[in-house]
Amino acid sequence: MAVEASSEPVWLTKNWLEQKLRLYFKNESLELDKLEIRPAVPKGENYASVMNRIKVEFSTKDSAKKNTITFLAKSTFSDKDPASDLLSDYGIYTREMDMYEKILPYLAELVQKELGDSKKLFAGTVSVDREKNCIIFEDLSLEQYKVVSRLDKLDLKHTHLLLDRLATFHAAAAVLAERRPGIFERNYDRGFFNKHTRGYETTMKNLLQALSRSLELNPDLKQRYQAKINHLIDHVMDYGEKSTSVNPNDFVTLCHGDLWTTNVMFQYDEQGHPNNVILIDFQFSVWNSPAIDLHYLFSTAIQENLRWNRQPELVQFYYYKLKDYLTMLNYSAHIPSLFDFQKQFQNRAFYAVFSSLIFEPCMLYTGKEKASIEQGLSDSESGLRFRNSVYEAQHIQDKLPLVLPFLDQLGLLDEM
């Protein structure tokens, strides 16, 4: 789940960046003449890191002209930020650095050489600095990649394109695991629910309590669902861990883990049609069933008519893409049937509960309170106001009569 960007890191200086760019461009004569830093994402669109866009002007001895280019710098919160301790327990910062150094380049090569897909799959990495917990990426906005509005969400064309790319990612990761046994054994077992830490427990419980309070605004919903939400408050982590337990016959692979609108970017043709999509933000990548990516995506990022009416069809679309790519990559393990994969999707359905009732309302927040992990944790008046305003917002109140019955009819709000 993507918090509001903090001020620029104090270590992000001209001298530090100059050394990184000399290595990236393989030119020791590079001199950084100008550096501008500004927040890269708007309020409410990044809950787990600090993102800054850095514009640089540099010169080299072998070129008379000055060069201007922009990059993105992604770093951790300061040690004083309450989110820092919570997120470090999940290993997200070292995991994403591992992804950009050790995993994504191999996946891109696999897709390009063996699937014949030359389209960009991920953002290129300029530098990974483990001492500073920082990654510098190429700025994909220079290639006209854009993020779809988190409020408008993805239509069918965007959704199909993303599911195709997601199937490519999942298939390539499964094949990489076959060819390099053990590559995902370390630090890829800590998604939002896992057996090592319950760092998100307080946040999830606090938000569910705010949801329960908001049901006072709708007597019908209060009567039908408040007791169930109150029961869920005490069991959300248990049910979440149960939903991510891997069964012996499950197809598992590397999942993105936090797949919503702000973590994908689309490129468009001259007519305005999307023709490529890349995945970004791999902090919560986890070895598990790809069904968790599907539930998270469907619950947070696709338009409402698709969400309520076309999920089985979208799972089928994804499945056939996955099967084709696994076959093309000579995956040797068992590929489940569509029937078995649909069951696997159903078995992970609790992912739709926390995605729909906890994360999505925060993702859609447009209120005046500061949106941050700290606000989810805090018992302060500001924290309470934030959480209450998340669920009292009219667009969330309008969604609850659809979301709650949908989940309830699947048995997801009862004891599990």
pLDDT the model gives residue 85? 66
For 82-134, write each residue's pLDDT tens digit: 566 667 778 877 899 999 988 999 999 999 999 999 999 999 889 999 888 89
Question: Whole-model pTM above 0.75?
Answer: yes
Taking 3-state DSSP, the helix, strand and coil percentages for the chain, each rounded to the nearest 5, stand at 50, 15, 35
Burial grade of 256 (CB within 10 A; 0-12, 13-18, 19 or more) = buried
Query: Is 82-123+144-416 CATH 3.90.1200?
Result: yes
| DSSP state string for 328-395 | HTT--SPPPPHHHHHHHHHHTTHHHHHIIIIIHHHHT--SSSPPSHHHHH--SHHHHHHHHHHHHSHH
Residues 165, 177: Cα–Cα separation, whole Å: 18
Tokens of 409: 């009819």
- In angstroms, the Cα distances linking 228 to 174, 354, 397 are 38, 14, 17
Which has the closest alpha carbon to 357: 300, 414, 395? Answer: 300
Q: Using the structure block, give the residue that is written with the tokens 């606000």.
A: 375
Beta strands at 31-39 and 50-60: parallel, antiparallel or unpaired? antiparallel
- In angstroms, the Cα distances linking 133 to 12, 77, 136, 192 are 12, 10, 10, 21
Beta bridge partners of 54: 37, 71
- Show me where the domains of the chain are located: 82-123+144-416
pLDDT the model gives residue 77? 60
Residues 366, 394: Cα–Cα separation, whole Å: 11
Cα–Cα–Cα angle for 71, 72, 74, rounded to 5 degrees: 150
For residue 325, how far is the Cα from the chain centroid? 23
- H or E segment and range at residue 253: strand 253-255
Tokens of 367: 């209120």
Sign of CA dihedral 285, 244, 300, 49: negative
For 275-309, write each residue's pLDDT tens digit: 999 999 999 999 999 999 999 999 999 999 999 99
What are the mean pLDDT values of the chain's consecutive 10-residue runs (416 residues total)?
53 92 94 91 61 92 88 74 68 87 94 95 90 90 93 97 98 98 92 90 95 97 98 96 91 97 95 95 95 98 96 97 98 97 96 96 91 83 93 96 96 93
pLDDT the model gives residue 42? 64
pLDDT the model gives residue 298? 98
CB 193 within 8 A of CB 240: yes
Long-range contacts of 213-216 (CB under 8 A, 24+ apart): 213/388, 213/391, 214/388, 214/391, 214/392, 214/396, 214/397, 214/400, 215/400
Q: Kindly state the DSSP code that residue 359 receives in the 8-state scheme.
A: I
pLDDT the model gives residue 7? 54
pLDDT the model gives residue 142? 87
